[in-house]
Chains A and B, each alone.
Chain A
Amino acid sequence: MWTPELSLALALAIPAIGGVAVALLGKYPNLREGATLVSAVLLALNVAYLVEIAPSHPVLELANLAPGLHLVFRLEPLGALFAAVASGLWIVNSLYSIGYMRGNGEKNQTRFYVCFCIAIGAAMGVALSGNLLTMFLFYEVLTLSTYPLVTHKGDENAKRGGKIYLSILLGASIGLLLPAVIATHYLAGSTDFVAGGLLAVNEVTPAIAGVLLVLFAFGIGKAALMPVHPWLPNAMVAPTPVSALLHAVAVVKAGVFAMLKVGTYIFGPALIAATPTSDALAWIAGISIVLSSVVAMTKDNLKARLAFSTVSQLSYVTLGVMLASPLAMLGGALQIVMHAWGKITLFMSAGAIYTATKKTEISQMAGLGRYMPWLFIAYTVGALSIIGLPPLGGTWPKLFLMQGAWESGHGLLIVALVASSILNVAYLLPLSARGFFSAPEEAKLKKKPPMLVILPPVITAAGVLVLFFLIGPLRDYLAPVFLSSSLAAEAAL
């Protein structure tokens, strides 16, 4: 029967089975890609069901590792939302991957698709996890399964980037996150996600919680809070679908999602507000936002620029968590969704340009908009959403964050947010301008880009537009999490 528990299990099983199928069908590219797409669609359908039943909080216990150590799935709205974003974008990204990988004649495509499946499965695991340990576990699987993707090209450059990728992420998670998880387990006796905050419920003192908060903030390396961000630009050596996966769908979103989840369910807003370190962390997030935007301006390589843009945008979520007001946290949660759709559009556009012209530097891209108008329109829509202009999805998180900052007495941080938006304009829009208005260097394109690399960005750009109008349902869906959480936390403290 179609029970919530079954559905939870399927969320993990579908990508796994998909991965096996892809591996087995490795010799038949069409069937292989078919398997990927079928899994993606099935997963999305399954997640849609999960989104619907999320408020009832179904629980699935996977394994009992030892007394006090469980692997548990527990569905709640935040996780459901993240799962929806990841699974929804996986379809688009799969379509795009097919176009990109074939268009560029990449090697080892089977390995690529298998790792992709595993990565999505791991992202599902992170999204649905019911305690810190489970989350940590899938978080690590995600790191390991994306490593072959990052080093896909296999040349020296890729290996170097992969090394930095792996060492920073694993280093932070083993060196900082794991001790934090174990310390949480030690302090609270479990690692379960509890409304109002596990640590708050167990009456951990703000001083100790403050230390833990720092460990978590930097230990979740995937959230790319400065100074643990260098893995992200270095991972740009990967093929573009991977970059899209890293920066929009799975990896970084898993990071900030973990941050949000830890903030909401392990600490609770009230405890975060009470810790001595949250202010400092909020400022570090603010500095990250501005500084990486500035760095992004200096990059001529489109993907590198987008990477630093991601670093900047991710810190919005961290900022939301550290501000610890319901509105700010809601803004953070929305940022996960909106940024995902916006940024994937940008990355897919970059990849499409590369597939069509083999160009990677912005300065070379003059006039390309004339040959690929749909693509450049999609890019511009995505960029505007990132900047935060209505009527695009990216508007809302910034608005909520500003309100939240004001509400929690950090008015100065609003300046950082505004500055960031201005900088966004400065580094994202020149490409649109150059693409449409400069004179092209060449008379015509060497080859016409495949349909499958143009269509996906257009779809996501349309999605960004739709998301603007979906704010009402989204807000209603998420609000109980933060409101009940802060209420429960206040009751506990």
Chain B
Amino acid sequence: MDMLASLLPAGIAVHAPALIVVIPLIMAAVAALMPRGIFAWGVTLATAIAVAVLSLNILGQVSTGGVISYAMGGWLPPVGIELRVDMLNVPLLLLVGIVGLLCVIYALPSVADEIAKKQQSLFYSAFLVCFAGLLGVTITGDAFNVFVFLEISSISTYTIIAMGAGKDRRALTASYNYLVLGTIGATFFVIGVGFLYMATGTLNIADMAAVLEQNGHDRVTQAAFAFIVVGLGLKAAMFPLHVWLPNAYAFAPNFVTAFLASTATKVAFYALIRFVFSVFHPEVNFVAMSFTWLFAVVGVIAMMVASVQAVFQTDARRLLAYSSVAQVGYMMLGLGMGTAAGLSASMLHLMNHALMKGALFMALGAFALNFGVRRVKDLAGLGQTMPASSAAFTVASLSLVGVPLTVGFTSKWYLVTAALERGWWWAVAALMISSLLALAYVARLLSAIWMETPPAGKAGLAPARRLAPWMVLAPMSLLAFANIYFFFHADPLVGLARAAANAVMGGN
């Protein structure tokens, strides 16, 4: 940790919280000026590397020096906007930073395949804005600033999802529906923040919590809670507010899907945790009620229903998208336990799920790159024609089921342990049933890849085509490998998750 903390010179390290958001934003503008896509990609790559380094440095700083508070413009909170990093949002910064970097490496061949040459630099620019928006949501300590950055990331997301229209016009309707629902969500969130402001007179999250603790809760804060949960729930694709997600993931460009699936909903979910635990208090009556009767119950329903829906999808990416909704259900369940163990299990699954879905969507992207594959049955025989990508896909999908030797097992282990600690046997049963459903839909994918014979025309491909470009293969294999590596070395992730839970739940 000390090593991470001294990664950057002190003069830069002090400003790391601001730079991690501002650098991508500046570079977004720079990328938009680039005459050719490849230059814009270079800018994007440089940015992603910088962000990854900064996020590691911030991790080092937080673990050695505790909470970082950065006063934007030198105005101390609550007057100014505060950037605040504690152990709860550090994992998210790392996640977005590092997965973002891998996705950017992956982007070059994928984007070259899917986006028109003329549009590439603007596309990368929009991606960087989205990237920065997610980081901004994660790092800010100001409730209204959350809204601003949420919208920065959302508006750019609508755009880059719509860029899938080059391949399939349904990307447009998917993006439109996301836009409408996302804006409703954001507006609900603004209403909620407005109510909180009404009740507290401040916009700083920590300050709000302090005022609320002093003044207690009334109807206004209860309404605020409801609106914020619904608003952020829409962004986080919490069941049944997930309707925008499957199509958006299914028709976006592959690179976008890989990036969004592993980061965007996670960040929204983080924001939800932040509000529920840091602004409101888990022991306040209505919050505690919402844990059991809203998060846990809805989480369990999501785990079941979305998994069943996934089983019956014909489009491979939509299948995985429904699986994502189910996985959000797991996280909701962990959150709904309302205990430190539950929350840390939820955070652990959040990180692990990013590893799985990143690799899965990247592999599907690799298939699409070579063969234009979209539907489940088109996957037939890919195990023979593209063995490396198929292997990565297999590892990640086994992880999704929760098979041992993969991180999926670790996160389920912690979820079940947390449920047992709470005495929720029904939740254990639900977790198991949902895992079996996951097995069912994963088996469809895997049996198509490995057991079917490839249709004529694919088997005879030249060896060069049989491999995805290394820029696709490398990040994908790395993520797949991480799925195994972090099973054997669970300490780093589990440690982060524990620290995150303790940061908001108190305790050691």
A–B contact (CB under 8 angstroms): yes
Which residues on B sit within 8 Å (CB–CB) of A140?
Answer: 403-405
Least CB distance from A202 to B in Å reads 15
Q: Does B435 contact A (CB under 8 A)?
A: yes
Contact (Cβ within 8 A) B436 A65 = no
CB < 8 Å neighbour of B490 from A65, A154, A171: A65
Stretch of A52-60, A179-187, A387-395, A403-411 with 4 or more beta carbons under 8 angstroms from chain B: A179-187
Q: Are A66 and B439 in contact (CB under 8 A)?
A: no
Contact, CB under 8 Å: B410 / A65: yes
18 contacts between A and B (CB under 8 A): A65-B488, A66-B410, A66-B494, A69-B410, A141-B405, A148-B450, A151-B451, A159-B447, A163-B443, A170-B436, A170-B439, A174-B435, A174-B436, A175-B436, A182-B416, A182-B417, A185-B417, A186-B421
The reply on A487 being an interface residue by CB < 8 A is no
**Residues of chain B contacted by A174 (CB below 8 angstroms):** 401-402, 432, 435-436, 439
B-side interface residues toward A, CB under 8 Å? 398, 401-405, 410, 412-413, 416-417, 420-421, 428-429, 432-433, 435-436, 439-440, 443, 447, 450-451, 453, 487-491, 494
**Contact present for A179 and B403 (CB under 8 Å):** no
Binding site for B on A (CB under 8 A): 63-67, 69, 71, 136-137, 140-141, 144, 148, 151, 154, 159, 162-163, 166-167, 170-171, 174-176, 178-179, 182-183, 185-186
Query: Considering residues A167, A175, A178, which has the most beta carbons from chain B within 10 angstroms of its beta carbon?
Result: A178
- Chain B residues near A66 (CB-CB < 8 A): 410, 490-491, 494
Inter-subunit contact B416/A159 (CB<8 Å): no
Determine how close the nearest CB of chain B comes to the CB of A23; give it in whole angstroms.
Answer: 12
If A136-B404, A171-B436, A186-B421 touch, does A166 touch B443 (CB 8 Å cutoff)?
yes
A152 to chain B: closest CB distance in Å?
A: 11
Given known A-B contacts A65-B487, A144-B403, A186-B421, A179 and B439 have beta carbons under 8 A apart: no
Is B413's CB under 8 angstroms from A179's CB?
no
Could you tell me the distance in whole angstroms from the C-beta of B182 to the nearest C-beta in chain A?
Answer: 35
Tell me the bound Cα distance from A71 to B420 in angstroms. 22
Nearest 3 Cβ contacts at the A-B interface: A66-B490, A137-B404, A186-B420
Report the bound CA distance from A176 to B432 in whole Å.
Answer: 8
Residue of B nearest to A186 (CB): B420
CB distance from B408 to the nearest CB of A (A): 11
A182 touches B413 (CB 8 A): yes
Question: When chains A and B are docked, how far (Å) is the Cα of A176 from the Cα of B487?
Answer: 22
Closest to A185 in B: B417
**In the bound complex, do residue A159 and residue B451 qualify as a contact, i.e. CB atoms below 8 Å apart?**
yes
> How many A-B residue pairs lie within 8 Å, measured between CB atoms?
74
B352 to chain A, nearest CB (A): 13
B488 — nearest CB in chain A belongs to which residue? A63
Known: A66-B410, A148-B450, A170-B439. 12 other contacts (CB 8 A): A67-B494, A71-B488, A140-B404, A154-B453, A159-B451, A171-B439, A174-B435, A174-B439, A178-B432, A182-B413, A182-B428, A185-B417
Q: Is the CB of A179 within 8 A of B416?
A: yes
Q: Which chain B residue shows the least CB distance to A182?
A: B416
Kindly report which residue of chain B lies nearest to residue A71, judged by CB atoms: B488
The distance in angstroms between the C-alpha atoms of A176 and B404, with both chains bound, is 15
Give A159 to B447 CA distance when docked, in angstroms. 9
Which residues of the partner chain B approach A154 to less than 8 Å between Cβ atoms? 451, 453
Q: Are A175 and B417 closer than 8 Å at their CB atoms?
A: no
Chain A residues with CB under 8 Å of B432's CB are: 174-176, 178-179
Alpha-carbon gap, A140 to B409, bound state (A):
12
Measured CB to CB, the closest approach of chain B to A62, in angstroms, equals 8
Question: Which residues of the other chain, B, contact A163 by a CB distance below 8 angstroms?
Answer: 443, 447
> B420 contacts which chain A residues (CB < 8 A)?
182-183, 186
Chain B residues whose C-beta falls within 8 Å of the C-beta of A148 in the assembled complex = 450
A141 CA to B398 CA in the complex, in Å? 11
Contacts of A176 in B (CB 8 A): 432
User: In whole angstroms, what is the CA distance A166 to B443 when docked?
Assistant: 9
Give, as a whole number of angstroms, the nearest-CB distance from B192 to chain A.
37
Residues on the A chain within 8 Å of B429, using CB = 179
CA distance in complex: A377, B127 (Å)? 74
Cα distance, A185 to B413, chains bound together (Å): 10
Which residues of chain B come closer than 8 Å to A65, judged between CB atoms? Answer: 410, 487-490
Closest B residue, CB atoms, query A63: B488
Shortest beta-carbon distance, A72 to chain B, in Å? 13
- Minimum Cβ distance to chain B for residue A330 (Å): 31
